[in-house]
Amino acid sequence: VKSIEESVVTAMDGSDKELFPFLPYILQDVWEIGAEPAVIIGLVRKHATDYSGLRILDLGCGKGAISIKLAKEFNCSCFGIDAITEFIAEANSKAAEFDVAHRCRFEIGDIRESVKTLPRFDIIILGAIGPVLGDYYATLTTLSKCLTPDGMLIVDDGYIEDESQYIHPLIQKKETVLQQVAAAGMTVIDEVIIQKDTIKESDDYIFERLQKRCLELIAKHPDKKELFEDYIQRQTDENDILETKIVCATIVIRRNNHE
């Protein structure tokens, strides 16, 4: 079982848990650090009803950008959990800034533990967190207990096209994803593929800011030069994977027997 530091660093495409305490500094200039809020808003509008009554769970919510924009758009209620204290603090201040503090709650926690005791939600969002809760089968069977009977999951993730020769330790082929969703008694009911130029624009925006902060950290902690240089390199590699090797998509998953 991974420590919380390893879980978080892996989800942020790092390789060394020593990076954990530096992540808030490295990512201080970026609010939207994962999935595209506009795409998720579009999917909620298309597949949900009674928008203001929705209760949304945002697991690995980062700095809360998705939940805050959903609450602003639909006046729904959102609950976000993330392991990084500074991210949760920023989520709370951004919620106040967007006038949705009364509709959003953000808490520090390890989502692998939190999911064991959470009540049911109408929508569960997994925004660019990767396989923190295991593969699709493990994730969906675990989250089923936190989902209302007609509820849906919105998952922003990458997959490898079935014809591709590419392999990656954390990314599945599309057919594997679909098989595991089916084995969990669920179906992918919709999918928005994120366009390559959109991905590149967002990657470049984040990379420029993150690299600048890593270079500052190298100057400040010369003994940790390798740690930060390795992170910059891994970000470059990961962006290449996202832009050229895999498909990035936001999918909507529902139980087969929903109303």
Ligand X SMILES: C[S@@+](CC[C@H](N)C(=O)[O-])C[C@H]1O[C@@H](n2cnc3c(N)ncnc32)[C@H](O)[C@@H]1O
| Residues near ligand X, by CB under 6 A | 4, 7-8, 11-12, 32-35, 60-62, 65-66, 81-84, 87, 110-112, 127-129, 132
Give the C-alpha separation, 98 to 17, whole Å. Answer: 33
Q: Which residues touch 159 (CB under 8 Å, ≥6 apart)?
A: 171, 172, 173, 174, 177, 246, 247, 249
Residue among 32 and 122 whose Cβ is closer to ligand X: 32
Give the C-alpha separation, 63 to 95, whole Å. Answer: 10
CB of 77 to ligand X, least distance (A): 17
* Strand ranges (E), 141-220: 147-159, 186-193
CB of 110 to ligand X, least distance (A): 4
Q: In whole angstroms, how far apart are CA 226 and each of 16, 215, 217, 219? A: 10, 11, 11, 12
CB of 165 to ligand X, least distance (A): 27
Angle, CA 68 vertex, CA 108 and CA 258 arms, to 5°: 90
Residue pair 89/68 in contact (Cβ under 8 Å)? The answer is no
CB of 212 to ligand X, least distance (A): 19
CB of 70 to ligand X, least distance (A): 12
Residue among 3 and 164 whose Cβ is closer to ligand X: 3
Residue among 35 and 248 whose Cβ is closer to ligand X: 35
Select from 155, 197, 151, 147 the least CA-distant residue to 172. 155
Residue among 41 and 182 whose Cβ is closer to ligand X: 41
Residue among 66 and 192 whose Cβ is closer to ligand X: 66
Closest residue to ligand X: CB criterion: 34
